[in-house]
Amino acid sequence: MSPASFRLPFFALALTGIAPALHAAVDFEKQILPVLEAKCLDCHSAPKMVDGKMKKPKADLRLDAAWAMLKGAESGPSLVPGDLAKSYMYEVVTLPEDDDMFMPPKGDPLTKTEVQLLKEWIESGADFGGWKGNMEGAPKEDAAKAAAVKVREHEVFYAKLQEGLKPADAAAIDKAKAAGAQLATLKMDSPLLRADFLTGVSKCDDEKVAVLLPLKENIAQLDLGRTVITDAALKTVAQFPRLASLDIRQTKVTDAGLVSLTGLKNLQHLNLFGTAVTDKGVKHLASIKSLKTISLFQTQATPAAVKDLTAAIPGIKVTLK
């Protein structure tokens, strides 16, 4: 996988009565590494001799080690735990197949299941388990510590987010699942949930999203991308106090709908790719001081609005082109 320009942007639950409704945890070595080995590592591994010639990793990007994914290449890290919009190893496998930056350029692309597993793994913190990979060329200790700090910040945030929270109601989970929702805990022992409707995006409307309301205290990550929701659905989403990540890319959401999100105090990541959002909507977002990343790619937002937003929320990363 080659780095792309920034143009866009489980979990077994050992809790009585809930486990049958949720996914098992994404295991890096069993579910992610085999995909990388089959479709990525031939071009993105440490330099090696092949047929008498030195074969270097394309674009100087290596994916054969945990430290290498976090380090990335010249354009930045290929992996940012918990931050899908900044993890271009995910971006390049989800681009249109006729895009010059789509990966892999040859051979079979990742399947929908493989893409979904990669997404869940990154959003849940990209836990490598005990796997380190090829340590040849690994950074000095200070660089490794810096990468560890980023991971730790993510873990601390979610640890605080779940303080005092009880596990989700099993009956509510079953009802949401029957309505087409997929639910997973962020970690094996966490009461926080990730929800999406990726197996039936064309059937997910405002009414379906409302089915998640009984789980509002537990939902921390919500993917409604490519569904048929409207601004009305965001009135439901606004009632999720622990929501940290919201993906509403390529939906009918408008500036008016974003007003509903201004009360979310824990929202860190927002994907608005391909929506009709304009500068007016971006102004509404300026009041959400917890935001860290926003994708405004293929919206009607302008650089001027982005400048005002970055001034209002210091440190925020905004993807416009």
DSSP 206: H
Residue 111: CB atoms within 10 Å: 11
Alpha-carbon distance of 279 to 128, in angstroms, equals: 39
pTM: 0.65
Distance CA 291, CA 227 (A): 23
Candidates 6, 128, 4; CA nearest to 61 is 4
> Do residues 183 and 210 share a domain?
yes
Q: What is the pLDDT of residue 17?
A: 37
pLDDT at position 59: 85
The residue assigned the tokens 């071009």 is: 43
Q: Nearest Cα to 271, choosing from 146, 94, 70, 22?
A: 94
CA distance 102 to 109: 9
pLDDT at position 246: 95
Are 153 and 172 within one domain?
no
Give 225's DSSP letter.
T
Q: Are residues 151 and 225 in the same domain?
A: no
Whether residues 231 and 283 fall in one domain? yes
Mean pLDDT by 10 residues, the chain (321 residues): 37 35 74 94 88 85 90 80 85 86 90 92 87 83 57 82 95 95 86 91 95 97 94 98 95 97 96 95 96 92 95 91 68
Inside any domain, residue 265: yes
Domain count, the chain: 2
The confidence score (pLDDT) of residue 54 equals 85
Residues 152 and 171 in one domain: no
- Residues 137 and 75 placed together within one structural domain of the fold: yes
User: Is residue 11 one of the residues assigned to a domain?
Assistant: no
Which structural domain range is residue 85 located in?
A: 19-159
Tokens found for residue 136:
């040849």
